[in-house]
Amino acid sequence: MITLKKEKDLQYMRKAGQIVADVLDLIAEIVRPGITTAYIDKAAEDLISREGATPAFKGYRVPGIPIAFPGAVCASINNEIVHGIPSQDRYLEEGDIISIDVGTCYGGYYGDAACTYPVGRISRERQRLIDVTLESLNRAIAEAKDGNTIGDIGHAVESYVIGNGFGLVRDYTGHGLGMHLHEPPQVPNFGHPGRGVTLKAGMTIAIEPMVMSGAEDTIVGSDRWVVLTADGSDAAHFERSVLITKDGAEVLTPWKWA
């Protein structure tokens, strides 16, 4: 069931979202060649803990996957789309791109967002992938307003991404959130204008385009968590949690770096 949030709910969601944003802005400052994804994970968890929140992903379980997710963040490099597990053995290299997805729980309410970062100097092709993915998110947020539909959001992403010659991840979607990390409705990155659930003021959703430079097929890694492009092409991921209002979308995870 889709829940409409009241002001008392939003006070906690804004705080949870601000912590997420602070983590993503911190990561923009520390990403560089030579550090490990475990280093990023620890920096994120330390900040989350200092703010009185808990990392939403750590210990998260999914039916069919025998181990709970062990990290505070998802750290996905190059051809990894989402759900990469942080590791002491995974070093960032010059020219990589890395997607970091962060979730927090504060006062029983959740925030969720993601950014893709360049590691040092990256290729023109990888920069364009990042730029197109970010712009598709911005266009989707512009459609996230009372009276529009989930299809309007998905169409904004799909039309821009496909129009620029990139592929879309269609098996994984955005979602509602609030007192649970994942709530109805699903928010696909494709769709038809005017179709799907009608957006109403008070709804809170996470919009998260996942874009590939190659074909749209995906595979799951041997750890059962990480999702990768099937052809080895690069992927980028941006996400914001937003509140639907009568006047448009209020961004609840206001990361600033990009």
Under 8 Å between Cβ of 6 and 203: no
The reported pLDDT for the residue numbered 78 is 98
Of the candidates 258, 256, 255, 233, which has an alpha carbon nearest to the alpha carbon of residue 123?
233
Whether residue 32 is predicted with pLDDT greater than 80 in this model: the reply is yes
Under 8 Å between Cβ of 81 and 212: yes
pTM: 0.97
- Residue 182 labelled as part of a binding site: yes
Class of domain 7-251: alpha beta
- Residue 7 labelled as part of a binding site: no
- Residue 231 labelled as part of a binding site: no
- Residue 9 labelled as part of a binding site: no
- Residue 192 labelled as part of a binding site: no
Task: Please provide the average confidence, as pLDDT, over all residues in the chain.
Answer: 97
Domain edges within the chain: 7-251
Sign (positive/negative) of CA torsion 59, 237, 91, 31?
negative
Dist. CA 95–CA 118, nearest whole Å: 7
- Residue 216 labelled as part of a binding site: no
The reported pLDDT for the residue numbered 34 is 98
The two tokens of residue 88 are: 């002491």
pLDDT one-digit tens code per residue, 192-250: 999 999 999 999 999 999 999 999 999 999 999 999 999 999 999 999 999 999 999 99
Work out the widest C-alpha separation in the chain, in whole angstroms. 48
- Residue 112 labelled as part of a binding site: yes
pLDDT one-digit tens code per residue, 57-108: 999 999 989 999 999 999 999 999 999 999 999 999 999 999 999 999 999 9
The reported pLDDT for the residue numbered 258 is 73
The burial of 184, by beta-carbon neighbours within 10 Å (0-12 exposed, 13-18 middle, 19 or more buried), is given as: middle
Helices 37-50 and 7-30, axial angle in degrees (round to 10)? 140
